[in-house]
Amino acid sequence: MATTVEGPVGSHDNDWTSAETAAGRNVGLSLWRGVRGRCPRCGHGRLFCAFLKVDDHCSVCRLDFTGHRADDLPAYLVIVIVGHVLVPVILWIEVDYAPSLAFQLGVYLPITALASITLLQPVKGVVVALQWALRMHGFGAHPPGELQA
């Protein structure tokens, strides 16, 4: 469970909730923040500086994001999610209605492309947040002074 803690050193903002407590890191809260494209630790800083480019660090709590290793996993997960949602619907339409090739190209391709593009950033945010919550790669123990601005 998340607790309310003081902000970063030198900050007078005490209203942010940290996903990191003495007991460990809150995985659920971190994943939700990743879906929203926010810092998995504080929830206020931006995770991305461009569409799929992870920022170097959080602008609020100064968490270093350079250790993340999302690589191709977000793309694979998006393919699995979109495929599992759209393929049954497409097969149902094909079997029951047998639409023309023009319909297939004009409807299935744009829906698949839009769904994939829409899901790519939230899924990548979840992967980075999961790595932070599970202390994977560069998100292990905090070096001294990491919270200092």
**pLDDT (tens digit per residue) in 31-52:** 999 999 999 999 999 999 999 9
Can you give the pLDDT at residue 19?
Answer: 75
Between 109-133 and 27-35, two packed helices, what is the crossing angle to 10 degrees? 140
5: three-class secondary structure by DSSP: coil
- Let me know: does 24 contact 35? Beta carbons within 8 Å: no
Half-sphere exposure of 96 (CA within 13 A, CB side): 6
Average pLDDT, the chain: 85
What are the C-alpha distances in Å from 54 to residues 33, 71, 73? Answer: 14, 11, 14
Q: Give the pLDDT mean for 103-123.
A: 97
How does residue 130 score in pLDDT terms, banded at 50, 70 and 90? very high
- Asked whether the predicted pLDDT for residue 25 surpasses 90, the reply is no
- Let me know: does 13 contact 45? Beta carbons within 8 Å: no
How does residue 22 score in pLDDT terms, banded at 50, 70 and 90? low
Can you give the residue ranges of every domain in the chain? 3-133
- Asked whether the predicted pLDDT for residue 115 surpasses 60, the reply is yes
How does residue 6 score in pLDDT terms, banded at 50, 70 and 90? very low
Q: Give the pLDDT mean for 138-149.
A: 57
- Asked whether the predicted pLDDT for residue 74 surpasses 60, the reply is yes
- Asked whether the predicted pLDDT for residue 73 surpasses 60, the reply is yes
- Let me know: does 16 contact 34? Beta carbons within 8 Å: no
